[in-house]
Amino acid sequence: MSREQAQQILKEAQRVAVATHVSPDADAISSATGLVQILRRLGKTAEAFCDDDLPARLKAIPHVEEIARIARGSFDLLVSVDASDPGRLGKAFAELQGLPLLNIDHHVTNTRFGTINWVDPSAVATAEMVLWLAEDLGVALDAELASILLAGIVGDTMGLRTANVNARILREVTRLMEAGASLPALVDALFNRRPLAAVRLFGQALVGVQVESGVIWTVITREMRAASGLTHANDLSLSSFLIGVEEARIAAVFTERDDGKVEVSMRARPGYDVARVALAFGGGGHPPAAGCLLPGPMEEVIPLILAALKTAARDSQGETSEGR
Ligand code: AMP
Ligand code: MN
Ligand code: MN
């Protein structure tokens, strides 16, 4: 239903702004750039916006350099991709307010903030939904578009390793590879390359790891980030590493930003749900991978979040196949 409405509004639009979330990940950049390329192939004007710096590993995605920070221009439609609430669009939302808004997303916590909302938590990535749109709109895959879209699928499934990977997505990955995308090249760029500074910071953060009632957690302070020279601490994927610890059902990493706010990155084993905790604190995500941003200070944030996570670590939802 909303998939058809999404198609319809995109067919009618002529000048489309596509905005994605701050702290961008591969799926954010992939779904925004992918949709822009599809719209341009249909003869429309389309521009991608992200109100943040892009981490170096995302430079492997074709056309990433065309993404602008400030959303200016004359448009007749705003599309939000991979963002669960309008706050995640940063200044892009304020700059483009008043336009009809198409909200395309796969987060279970999506607040349905669009004029039209196409939200499908069964999609492994927003990029998978954009692939469906390409097919619906009759845009053929070439090597470039296939690489752009595969990047988001590979990013959100951690290289096809999350609990939600199924036969459908593998068939889609096969189609993308047949069109010319390289799975090994994207896995290498997104997961196997990291700056030395990241490894040093990782090491420091591991020294401070604690486990309480099934919750494993650690802290990255401003001082630790400054000493390592790493600006994008979320590039570490430290929470994804910590959830591999056998004694843990839930993992959390608390990162202090330069403005004093605290980013919380959370992961859960299958059957446990951190999306509900993130949503309760104004954030969002998926049952196994979620996050939120709190005003700080660190010593207030940690006990608040840990109490909620310990409760979540007691409440098994039963084995679910719902992934990130
Ligand atoms: P991360 O821990 O940064 O890899 O994020 C895991 C998931 O949670 C991703 O789907 C993010 O989009 C989502 N997420 C992280 N931080 C926030 C936030 N402040 N608000 C809403 N969603 C978030
Ligand atoms: Mn994302
Ligand atoms: Mn996503």
322 has a pLDDT exceeding 70: no
Output the pLDDT for position 171.
98
Q: pLDDT tens across 85-94, in order? A: 999 999 988 8
Mean pLDDT (the chain, rounded): 94
Q: Is the CB of 88 under 6 A from ligand 1?
A: yes
CATH topology of domain 2-191: inorganic pyrophosphatase (n-terminal core) (3.90.1640)
Record the pTM.
Answer: 0.94
Taking the domains of the chain in order of start, what are their residue ranges?
A: 2-191, 196-323
Q: Which of 29, 30, 31, 84 to mutate to test the pocket of ligand 1 (most atoms within 8 A of CB)?
A: 84
CA distance 267 to 33: 27
Q: What number of other Cβ atoms are within 10 A of residue 115's Cβ? A: 13
Output the pLDDT for position 234.
62
> Rounded to 5 degrees, what angle do the CA atoms 289, 121, 12 make?
130
195 has a pLDDT exceeding 90: no
> Do the Cβ atoms of 83 and 96 come closer than 8 Å?
no
Sheet strands side by side (includes 77-81): 45-50, 15-20, 77-81, 101-105, 116-119
196-323 shares the fold of 2-191: no
CATH class of 196-323: alpha beta
Q: Is the CB of 239 under 6 A from ligand 1?
A: yes
3-state SS, residue 89: helix
Section 176-188 average pLDDT:
98
Residue indicated by tokens 């896995």: 187
